[in-house]
Chain A
Amino acid sequence: KAGVTQTPRYLIKTRGQQVTLSCSPISGHRSVSWYQQTPGQGLQFLFEYFSETQRNKGNFPGRFSGRQFSNSRSEMNVSTLELGDSALYLCASSLRGGTNNEQFFGPGTRLTVL
């Protein structure tokens, strides 16, 4: 079974630009969660999508948004990029989602904002 894939793996943007990251979950998994990981803050939850609906949400500003397609693939968009958005963005898929099930993480997208 193929694992979670994320594209692109690396991205360099400048302040004010926007970016779209993509995540393909494990086949059959309907839940996709997005996380931001930085050395100072660790892993922080952005949002979870399940069957094309946002089910849970973290405490990030509205510049961070996402969506999920009927094939469970998910995209995350960050608009008006700021220097502080530089981070590793991880997505994780889960069969049933929620907060009491094992999650399978993708390799992440390393975003650098200049």
Chain B
Amino acid sequence: GQNIDQPTEMTATEGAIVQINCTYQTSGFNGLFWYQQHAGEAPTFLSYNVLDGLEEKGRFSSFLSRSKGYSYLLLKELQMKDSASYLCAVPRQEAGNNRKLIWGLGTSLAVNP
């Protein structure tokens, strides 16, 4: 099977650093995605990790440990506009070569002044 777990809600202060965790169980692995979704808007792509380690992209970084089934999204120098839901997703391959993305329920981040 394939399950994805993320904290439901997190709160942080403007200017601070926050780490959003995602754990997954999968019988096969082919990368992990992070998307950001502001309330009432469409999800937008943040990162895609295939190999272990940290990938940095401006204020956002994403880490992956395949052996531990664990990823985190690190947001630095938080801004009010970072208040959003953060979704992690993992590909799953089924019988007959059917493939789909399995999504976590998302972590709702509130950034306070």
Enumerate chain A interface residues (CB-CB to B < 8 A): 4, 41-45, 48, 56-58, 90, 98-100, 102-108
Q: Does the CB pair B98–A102 fall under 8 Å?
A: no
The distance in angstroms between the C-alpha atoms of A43 and B42, with both chains bound, is: 11
If the complex has contacts A42-B104, A43-B87, A57-B98, are A100 and B31 also in contact, measured as CB distance less than 8 A?
Answer: yes
Partner of B100, one of A58, A104, A107: A58
Closest A residue by C-beta to B46: A102
Q: Given the complex of chains A and B, what is the CA–CA distance between A56 and B93 in angstroms?
A: 10
A76 to B23, CA, bound (A): 32
Tell me whether B100 and A56 are in contact (CB under 8 A): yes
Nearest CB in chain B: distance from A11 CB, A:
16
Which chain A residues border B92 with CB–CB below 8 Å? Answer: 99
Question: How many CB-defined contacts (below 8 Å) exist between A and B?
Answer: 51
Checking B41, B99, B103, B104 against A98 with a beta-carbon cut-off of 8 angstroms, the contacting residue is: B99
Please determine whether B91 and A99 come into contact, CB atoms closer than 8 angstroms: yes
Within 8 A of A (CB), among B78-103: 87, 89, 91-93, 98-103
| Chain A minimum-CB-distance residue to B100 | A45
Residue of A98, A100, A106, A108 contacting most chain B CB atoms (<10 Å): A100
Count class of interface residues, chain B = 20 to 34
Determine the chain B residues whose CB is within 8 A of the CB of A58 once the complex forms.
Answer: 100
In the bound complex, do residue B103 and residue A100 qualify as a contact, i.e. CB atoms below 8 Å apart? no
Interface status of B60 (Cβ within 8 A of chain A): no
Question: How far is it, in angstroms, between the C-alpha of A42 and the C-alpha of B100 when the chains are bound?
Answer: 14
A-B pairs, 7 with minimum CB distance: A99-B91, A105-B42, A43-B103, A45-B100, A42-B105, A102-B45, A99-B99
Residue contact B30 to A90, C-beta cutoff 8 Å: no
Most chain B beta carbons < 10 A, residue from A105, A106, A108: A105
Q: Which residue of the partner chain, among B45, B101, B103, B105, contacts A104 with CB atoms under 8 Å?
A: B45
- Nearest Cβ distance between residue A51 and chain B, in whole angstroms? 16
Q: List the A residue with the shortest CB-CB distance to B89.
A: A43
